[in-house]
């Protein structure tokens, strides 16, 4: 323990240490006040702990006023005493203790001596007396030798007075020079217990000894408190003489004869004197006799033992020295009773009297000291706590107002002062309600809550923030917590927490979490939430809601060509226009990308929905100026689900609207479609197909077949068209018509198309490495692949990777693809052309080509659709179309390829009209790479020159 801590520990135990020190000083010194307290304690404790005694077996023959009045002046002729002794002896008393000093010879001595001899049980008194005439020491006053010679025993009647002047104790033995005389009570007891045997008195000749320097005592005996229990029977001396029969009551008792009349010597002050007056010495000795006989006499503990026990008792709390609290204070305080109780207990068990006053007072001193120290510590703690609380109150951001149980303001911290614009002094003692009225309209609510808080004594937090008008007029949101003060709710603390910014931030976050950042429209999460709610409400109220899934047509093109900035602007404008098309309560949400979802509630009928969908399409088709000077025409496809008719489930209804939108899109866009159940099956199959295609691409289940293209005039192989096949895991070979549409719809066509380009170029490279005839390979690209420029990159890297010459690759795109988005396709085809790759327009004749556009495209080849070729020999129209197409292509400098040539007649017709190339079953169906190699080998210079 460090010195400072030790000093603190000592200081806190100062009370106990002081008490111990005091005990060390006062106990050995026999400090009188302490002694007096111990005597008082003895008088109080002894009667309580005294053991039960046997019935009183002593009596007094009292020389009282009546006897003096009857027998004349004292001293009497000792013959009278002889008569009494005889009477008592005849009555059979156990012993006779005479508490009268027969120090000088007197008349009747002879008779008395004879009577004493006859009785043989008379004990005469010996007493100390201070030496007279200036002599020092103590005289021992004995009976005259004559009487003494006939006494059964002598007993001293010396009584020690305590510090308070009261007689409580006698000494077992005392005497001048040496303690040779038993106490009268003891001597009488000894005689009472003996059967007429001869006495053995010490033989001193002189009846009055010279003064001895000191009166010696030994065997201190504390007597019990003189209460009724030890009181002897008292019979008046004269009555005994007059009524001899009275002596019969005294049979077997020890009888003490002595004066009780006032004015004669021998009265003693005892602890009972305050109630009963002083006690005659004879009674005192008779009581002493009873006490000794009953074993009710006690020894006093030596001061050293008392001191040791006192110190031990005080040391325990000094060492433990617990922190003070009410329980401990009371518990420890009750220990003050321990010393007296322990004294009483020891007294009863061992007849040892341990004075308890030093320990009791020491404990009180230590306890008070401990109390004072702890009180000081508590006060200091309280002061610190108060300072802390004050500092906390001043530093916290909350406004704190304290009110009393009458709702008057007691305290306000600086934040509260700012909130009210009032200094504490100006607000103190004002009613809280008055103050609130100035700043908030929620006074009633606060008043009520405060009332509940005080009544129920519990902390309450207002569920909603309070709108508080600040002194400068700004309004802030405060969250209020009211807590009761004290266990009996003597007041309350109102803590106002400014949550204005937090609420704003929360609502900002909430808005961000539920709204699209670009358009500010509700996002998916909020839409779904509202949709759930709207569906539940529509279900309950039997009304109708409509969910419109809006998808912009060809938005990607805008994004790719004009950049994302313009794309974003378009989306913002679309959001505005869609919002303008619906009612205020409806929800226009951005679903993602170029998709929007509109939720309309409380609708009357389907036509109303159709009208709005129509309005939306119309609004969107108006020119959009995404960038200054760039006017765009938009269109959209809308799918509509009606709830709860189509479905009462939000997710399902969304899916339905999505399918309907898809249908609208497939119909060419710029239209709306209501969901119908048949879309369900279609979409299910489509979904299945999509996932199978995805797996096929991953598992490399696709392969390319190649169909030879033959120069009609020479019959030579001039090209191969790569046609995709899907070989499923079970070996089934699936033709493209069965899966290309699904691949296009799902977007998987991009991946598949890329694979085709790479596979075709790789195959061409392989053939080339084998020295086979290099003929151009034509690959089909879909409309989707043509929607951006990625395909150009794919072609470029495929050529680079394979090392195949660009002239060995040809791209086929259908007429409808080319015409659908002519401007974009023109750009794409130019890029492809710049690579040196040829471009063919497939299925020519099925679409409605614009000649001017066709002229702008860098097309090297036109492929006449097989549907025209099929009937050229039988259908004049088809024949005319084919003829016209050949002429047109030639006029534009293009090569013409006829597809689906199956017969010689068809071939002849084509040859006649100078069609350049024939492709069809007549020459060969599409063949796997291994089989088509025969064609290549046959055409290779030095190999075979004709077709197989």
Closer to ligand C2E by CB, 806 or 926: give it: 926
Which DSSP state fits 324?
A: P
Stretch that binds ligand C2E, among 106-114, 181-189, 473-481, 774-782 (CB under 6 A): 774-782
Beta carbons of 934 and 943 less than 8 angstroms apart: no
Quick one: the chain helix, strand, coil %, rounded to 5? Answer: 50, 20, 30
Q: Of 216-224, 420-428, 481-489, 730-738, which segment contacts ligand C2E by CB under 6 A? A: 730-738
Q: Is 845 an interacting residue with respect to ligand C2E (CB under 6 A)?
A: no
Strand partners for 706: 722, 927
Selected from 301, 609, 616, 740, the binder of ligand C2E by CB under 6 A is: 740
Size of the site for ligand C2E (CB under 6 A): 22
Residue 736 as a binder of ligand C2E (CB under 6 A): the answer is: yes
Site for ligand C2E in 691-720 (CB under 6 A): 707
CB of 707 to ligand C2E, least distance (A): 6
CB nearer to ligand C2E: give 609 or 704: 704
**Residue 915 neighbours by CB distance under 10 Å:** 27
31 by Cβ neighbours in 10 Å (0-12 / 13-18 / 19+) ranks as middle
Could you say which of 128, 339, 776, 926 contacts ligand C2E (CB under 6 A)? Answer: 926
Cβ nearer to ligand C2E, comparing 621 with 902: 902
d(CA 127, CA 174): 9
DSSP characters over 714-771? T--EEEEEEEEEEE-TTS-EE-GGGTHHHHHHHTTHHHHHHHHHHHHHHHHHHHHHTT
Three-class SS of 422-434: CCHHHHCCCEHHH
Under the binding rule (CB under 6 A), the answer on residue 723 touching ligand C2E is yes
Distance (Å, rounded) from C-alpha 307 to C-alpha 354?
10
Using CB under 6 A, which of 310, 360, 402, 782 touches ligand C2E? 782
The least distance separating ligand C2E from the CB of residue 741, rounded to whole angstroms, comes to: 10
Q: Where are the beta strands (DSSP E) in 527-663?
A: 544-552, 587-592, 595-603, 624-627, 630-632, 636-643
The minimum distance between CB 755 and ligand C2E, in angstroms, equals 9
Q: Are 355 and 39 in contact (CB under 8 A)?
A: no
| Min CB(704)–ligand C2E separation in Å | 7
Tell me the C-alpha distance between 898 and 751, whole Å: 29
Binding mask 794-833 for ligand C2E (x = CB under 6 A): ----------------------------------------
Helix (H, G, I), strand (E, B) or coil at 108: coil
For residue 717 the two structure tokens come to 């192989």
Q: Does 761 bind ligand C2E (CB under 6 A)?
A: no
Q: Does 99 bind ligand C2E (CB under 6 A)?
A: no
Nearest to 550 by CA among 641, 638, 616: 638
Residue 675 structure tokens: 């969901």
Considering only the stretches 449-457, 599-607, 647-655, 736-744, report the one whose residues sit in contact with ligand C2E under the rule CB under 6 A.
Answer: 736-744
- When binding is defined by CB under 6 A, the residue of 724, 791, 837, 894 that contacts ligand C2E is 724
Interaction of residue 616 with ligand C2E, rule CB under 6 A: no
- Interface map 861-900 toward ligand C2E (x if CB under 6 A): -----x--------------------------------xx
Q: State the first-to-last Cα distance of the chain, in angstroms, to the nearest integer.
A: 113
Q: Pick the binder of ligand C2E from 756, 775, 907, 918 (CB under 6 A).
A: 756
CB of 753 to ligand C2E, least distance (A): 6
Binding flag, residue 750, ligand C2E (CB under 6 A)? no
CA angle 206, 208, 209 (to 5 degrees): 80
DSSP letters, 648-683, are SSHHHHHHHHHHHHHHHHHTTSS-EEE--THHHHHH
Is the CB of 148 or the CB of 705 nearer to ligand C2E?
A: 705
780 contacts ligand C2E (rule: CB under 6 A): yes
φ/ψ of 48, rounded to 5, equals -75, -40
Q: Which of 97, 155, 356, 920 touches ligand C2E by CB under 6 A? A: 920
- Contact between residue 338 and residue 316 where contact means Cβ atoms under 8 Å apart: no
Q: Does 737 bind ligand C2E (CB under 6 A)?
A: yes
- Tell me: does residue 928 bind ligand C2E (CB under 6 A): no
Instruction: Name the residue nearer to ligand C2E (CB basis): 236 or 919.
Output: 919
- Residue 735 near ligand C2E by CB under 6 A: yes
Site for ligand C2E contains 418 (CB under 6 A): no
Nearer to ligand C2E, 22 or 724 (CB): 724
3-state secondary structure of 152: coil
Assess 843 for contact with ligand C2E (CB under 6 A).
yes
CB-count burial class (<10 Å; 0-12, 13-18, 19+) for 547 = buried
DSSP per-residue codes, 185-213: HHHHHHHHTS-SPPP-----S-SBPPPBS
CB nearer to ligand C2E: pick between 284 and 726: 726
Sign of CA dihedral 23, 27, 28, 33: positive
Question: Which stretch, 115-123, 729-737, 763-771, 790-798, contacts ligand C2E (CB under 6 A)?
Answer: 729-737
**Lookup: tokens for 611:** 């009208």
Question: Any contact of residue 902 with ligand C2E (CB under 6 A)?
Answer: yes
Stretch 13-72 residues interacting with ligand C2E (CB under 6 A) = none
Q: Give the burial class of 77: count Cβ atoms within 10 A of its Cβ; 0-12 exposed, 13-18 middle, 19 or more buried.
A: middle
Choice between 296 and 817, CB closer to ligand C2E = 817
Residues 517-536 that bind ligand C2E (CB under 6 A): none
Shortest Cβ distance from residue 764 to ligand C2E (Å)? 15
Query: What is the smallest separation between the CB atom of 848 and ligand C2E, expressed in angstroms?
Result: 18
Interface region with ligand C2E, contact rule CB under 6 A, candidates 134-142, 377-385, 657-665, 735-743 = 735-743
- The region of 144-152, 489-497, 518-526, 732-740 touching ligand C2E under the rule CB under 6 A is 732-740
**Under rule CB under 6 A, residue 839 binds ligand C2E:** no
Which of these ranges, 73-81, 544-552, 731-739, 854-862, lies near ligand C2E under the rule CB under 6 A? 731-739
CA distance 594 to 577: 14
d(CA 640, CA 659): 9
Distances (CA, A) of 29 to 304, 307, 541: 11, 11, 104
CA distances from 378 to 317, 323, 898 (A): 19, 10, 110
Please, which residue, 670 or 751, has the CB nearer to ligand C2E? 751
From CA 402, how far away is CA 424, in angstroms rounded? 11
Question: Among 38, 646, 842, 861, which residue sits at the site for ligand C2E (rule: CB under 6 A)?
Answer: 842
104/793 with CB nearer ligand C2E: 793
CB of 714 to ligand C2E, least distance (A): 20
Q: Provide the minimum distance between the beta carbon of 721 and ligand C2E in the complex, in angstroms, as a whole number.
A: 6
Taking CB under 6 A as the rule, does residue 746 contact ligand C2E?
A: no
> According to the binding rule CB under 6 A, does residue 784 interact with ligand C2E?
no
Q: Which is nearer to ligand C2E, 166 or 752 (CB)?
A: 752
Segment near ligand C2E (CB under 6 A); pick from 248-256, 456-464, 535-543, 920-928: 920-928
Q: Point out which residues pair with 544 in neighbouring strands.
A: 603
The alpha carbon torsion through 647, 652, 655, 661 (nearest 10 deg) reads: 10
| Residues of this chain that bind ligand C2E (CB under 6 A) | 707, 723-724, 735-737, 740, 753, 756, 780-782, 842-843, 866, 899-902, 920-921, 926
């Amino acid at each position: 323990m460090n010195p400072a801590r030790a000093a603190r520990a000592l200081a806190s135990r100062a009370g106990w240490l002081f008490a111990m020190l005091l005990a060390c000083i006062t106990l050995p010194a026999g400090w009188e006040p302490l002694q007096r307290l111990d005597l008082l304690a003895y008088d109080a404790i002894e009667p309580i702990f005294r053991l039960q005694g046997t019935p009183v077996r002593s009596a007094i023959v009292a020389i009282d006023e009546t006897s003096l009045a009857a027998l004349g002046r004292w001293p009497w002729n000792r013959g009278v005493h002889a008569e009494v002794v005889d009477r008592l002896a005849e009555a059979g008393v156990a012993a006779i203790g005479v508490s009268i000093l027969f120090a000088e010879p007197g008349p009747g001595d002879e008779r008395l001596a004879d009577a004493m001899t006859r009785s043989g049980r008379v004990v005469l008194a010996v007493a100390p007396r201070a030496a007279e005439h200036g002599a020092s020491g103590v005289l021992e006053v004995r009976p005259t030798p004559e009487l003494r010679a006939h006494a059964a025993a002598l007993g001293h009647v010396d009584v020690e007075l305590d510090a308070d002047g009261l007689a409580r104790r006698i000494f077992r033995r005392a005497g001048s020079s040496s303690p040779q005389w038993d106490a009268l009570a003891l001597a009488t007891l000894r005689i009472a217990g003996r059967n007429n045997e001869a006495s053995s008195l010490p033989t001193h000749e002189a009846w009055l000894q010279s003064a001895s320097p000191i009166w010696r005592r030994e065997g201190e005996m504390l007597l019990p408190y003189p209460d009724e229990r030890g009181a002897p029977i008292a019979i008046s001396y004269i009555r005994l003489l007059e009524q001899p029969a009275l002596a019969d009551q005294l049979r077997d008792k020890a009888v003490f004869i002595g004066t009780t009349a006032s004015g004669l010597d021998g009265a003693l002050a005892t602890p009972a004197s305050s109630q009963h007056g002083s006690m005659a010495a004879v009674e005192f000795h008779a009581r002493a006799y009873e006490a000794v006989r009953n074993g009710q006499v006690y020894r006093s503990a030596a001061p050293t033992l008392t001191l040791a026990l006192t110190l031990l008792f005080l040391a325990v709390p000094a060492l433990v020295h617990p922190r003070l609290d009410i329980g401990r204070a009371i518990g420890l305080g009750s220990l003050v009773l321990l010393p007296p109780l322990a004294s009483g207990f020891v007294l009863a068990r061992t007849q040892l009297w341990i004075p308890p006053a030093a320990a009791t007072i020491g404990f009180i001193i230590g306890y008070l000291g401990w109390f004072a120290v702890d009180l000081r510590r508590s006060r200091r703690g309280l002061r610190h706590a108060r300072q802390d609380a004050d500092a906390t109150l001043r530093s916290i951001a909350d406004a704190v107002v304290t009110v009393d149980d009458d709702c008057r303001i007691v305290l306000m911290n600086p934040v509260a002062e700012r909130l009210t614009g009032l200094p504490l002094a100006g607000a103190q003692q004002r009613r809280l309600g008055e103050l609130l009225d100035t700043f908030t309209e929620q006074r009633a609510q606060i008043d009520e809550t405060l009332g509940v808080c005080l009544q129920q004594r519990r902390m309450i937090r207002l569920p909603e923030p309070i709108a508080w008008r600040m002194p400068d007029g700004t309004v802030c949101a405060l969250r209020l917590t009211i807590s009761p003060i004290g266990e009996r709710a003597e007041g309350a603390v109102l803590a106002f927490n400014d949550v204005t910014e937090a609420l704003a931030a929360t609502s900002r976050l909430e808005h961000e979490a539920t709204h699209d950042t670009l358009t500010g429209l509700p996002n998916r999460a909020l839409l779904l939430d509202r949709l759930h709610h709207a569906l539940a409400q529509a279900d309950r109220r039997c009304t109708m809601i409509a969910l419109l899934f809006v998808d912009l047509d060809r938005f990607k093109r805008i994004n790719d060509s004009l950049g994302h900035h313009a794309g974003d602007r378009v989306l913002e404008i679309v959001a505005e226009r869609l919002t303008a098309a619906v009612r205020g309560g409806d929800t226009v949400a951005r679903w993602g990308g170029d998709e929007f979802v509109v939720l309309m509630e409380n609708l009357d009928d389907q036509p109303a929905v159709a009208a709005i969908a129509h309005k939306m399409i119309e609004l969107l088709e108006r020119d959009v100026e995404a960038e200054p000077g760039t006017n765009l025409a938009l269109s959209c496809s809308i799918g509509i689900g009606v709830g709860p008719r189509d479905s009462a489930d939000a997710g399902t209804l969304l899916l339905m609207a999505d399918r309907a939108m898809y249908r609208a899109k497939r119909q060419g866009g710029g239209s709306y479609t209501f969901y119908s159940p048949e879309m369900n099956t279609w979409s299910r199959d489509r979904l299945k197909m999509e996932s199978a295609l995805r797996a096929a691409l991953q598992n490399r289940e696709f392969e390319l077949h190649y169909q030879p293209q033959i120069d009609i005039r020479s019959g030579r192989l001039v090209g191969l068209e790569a046609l995709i096949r899907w070989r499923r895991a079970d070996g089934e070979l699936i033709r493209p018509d069965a899966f290309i549409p699904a691949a296009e719809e799902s977007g998987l066509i991009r991946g598949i198309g890329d694979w085709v380009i790479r596979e075709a170029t790789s195959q061409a490279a392989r053939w080339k490495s084998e020295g086979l005839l290099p003929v151009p390979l034509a690959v089909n690209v879909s409309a989707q692949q043509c929607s951006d420029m990625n395909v150009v990159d794919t072609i470029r890297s495929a050529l680079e990777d394979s090392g195949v010459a660009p002239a060995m690759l040809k791209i086929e795109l259908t007429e409808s693809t080319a015409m659908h988005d002519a401007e974009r396709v023109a750009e794409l085809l130019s890029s492809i052309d710049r690579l040196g790759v040829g471009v063919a327009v497939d299925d020519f004749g099925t679409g409605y080509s614009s000649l001017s556009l066709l002229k702008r495209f860098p097309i090297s080849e036109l492929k006449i659709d097989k549907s025209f070729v099929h009937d050229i020999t039988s259908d004049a129209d088809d024949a005319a179309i084919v003829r016209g197409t050949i002429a047109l292509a030639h006029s534009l400098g293009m090569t013409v390829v006829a597809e689906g040539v199956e017969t010689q007649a068809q071939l002849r017709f084509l040859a006649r009209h100078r069609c350049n190339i024939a492709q069809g079953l007549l020459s060969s169906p599409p063949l796997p790479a291994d089989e088509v190699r025969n064609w290549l080998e046959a055409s290779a210079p030095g190999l075979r020159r004709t077709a197989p």
